[in-house]
Amino acid sequence: MAFQEQGKGGAVRGAILEVLRKHDGNWVSGEELSRILGMSRAAVSKHMRLIRDAGYPVEAMTRRGYRLGGDADSLHPAAVCHGLGTRLLGRGTVLHMESVPSTNMEARVLAERGAPEGSVVLADCQTAGRGRQGRTWLSPRGGVYMSVVLRPQCAPQQVPVLTLMTVVAVVGAVRGLTGLPAMPKWPNDVLVHGRKLSGVLIEAGLVVDALDYAVAGIGINVNTVCSELERDGMRAVSLRGALEAHHGTEQPQLPRAGVARAVLEALEEAYELFRSGGGAAVVARWKQLAGITGSSIRLGRGDAVLTGKVRDVDDNGWLLLEDESGTVHRLPAGDILDG
C-alpha cells in the first residue's frame, strides 16, 4: 500500500503512526522511536507535535513516551487504512492532501496513468468541488472528501447505476455508524431528516466505446459547520449536527478516519453486489432504501418542471415518471423538488 501525504515529512509521520499503531495503545519510548526510525529524539518530538496538530489523539508522558489513543479526526492514509476491512478498495495507492481543487480531478489523473482499481484520493477540503451538471459543491474543512478509482466490466450505459451504488454505500455507512435515518434522494444525494448530508459524483473515462475506469467521488458533511450552507436550494446538515439534534445534546467531533473507513467498506460491499448481480441488484437495493416507487413528485429538468408519479427506476438507473396524461418519461437525471 502506498501512503502519500502532501508536504514535507509526510512519509516520516506516516512511519511514526505505523509504529504507534502496531503497539496497539501501549507506550513507545522516544528512544525506541528514534532507534526504529533512524532519527534524533528531537526530530521525533517535532513530528509528534505535527501529528497531534493534524488531529491524532497522541498522548505523551515523561519516562513513558508516546501512545496512540482512539480514532483520529484525520484523513491521513495511516488513519483511514488502519483496520480497514476491505480486499480491494484502499489497497492500492492512497493519496491524502490537505487542500485540492477536486479529489475527482486527482483520481482521474491517477486512473489515466494506470493506477490500480481501489486507489483512493482523500482531502481535508476542496477549493473547486463539483456536483452534477458542473454545480459547485462547497467543501470546507470538517468534511470527508474522497474519490475512488473503479474499473468495472460494464457498458458505459450503466454508469448511472454506479451513482446509485455509491449512494447505497454512503447510506449504509451512515446508518451503521450513527443509527441516523439516512435516505437516498435520486439520483445522487443522501439526506437526513430532509437535509443534504452527502453528494456523489461519478465520472467515467472511455476508450473508444468501452468504459476504461470510473471515479466515484463522495463528499460528506461530518463535522462541518453548515448552518449557512445551501446545496441546490436545500439546507445542508452535518453528521455531528444531526446527532446533536437527535440526542438533544452537544456532540464531540466525529473521527473522520472512521467515517471514511466505513464508507470504503460499504462501497466495496455495494461494488461486489454490482459485479455479481449487475444493475438490477443495485437498483433493487436502492429502491428498498429510498421507497420512492409510487410517490408523486415534481422533477426539475432545466427550465422545465415535470409532475407525475414514479413508476420505477430501471436497471440502468433511469427514473420512469408517469405524467398526468399517462405518458411515461424515462429520465437519466433531474432535481426532485419535493423533499
What are the pLDDT digits (tens) for 47-65? 998 888 776 778 888 889 9
Q: Is the pLDDT of residue 234 over 90?
A: no
Q: What local confidence, expressed as pLDDT, does residue 235 receive?
A: 81
Contact yes or no for 270/263 (Cβ under 8 A): no
Q: What local confidence, expressed as pLDDT, does residue 335 receive?
A: 86
Contact yes or no for 161/274 (Cβ under 8 A): yes
Ranges 35-39, 134-138, 211-215: which has the least confidence: 134-138
Dist. CA 68–CA 66, nearest whole Å = 7
Nearest CA to 169 out of 140, 204, 144 is that of 144
Per-residue pLDDT reduced to its tens digit, 254-292:
999 999 999 999 999 999 999 999 999 999 999 999 999
Q: Is the pLDDT of residue 10 over 90?
A: no
Q: Is the pLDDT of residue 7 over 70?
A: no
Confidence of residue 208 (pLDDT cuts 50, 70, 90): confident
Q: Using alpha carbons, list the distances in angstroms from residue 145 to 250, 257, 295, 338.
A: 24, 11, 32, 27
Q: Is the pLDDT of residue 110 over 80?
A: yes
Question: Each residue of 115-126: b (16+ CB within 10 Å) or e?
Answer: bebbbbbbbbbb
Q: What local confidence, expressed as pLDDT, does residue 23 receive?
A: 87
Q: What local confidence, expressed as pLDDT, does residue 134 receive?
A: 60
Nearest CA to 121 out of 148, 140, 102, 86 is that of 148
Q: Is the pLDDT of residue 231 over 80?
A: no
Per-residue pLDDT reduced to its tens digit, 169-193:
999 999 999 999 999 999 999 999 9
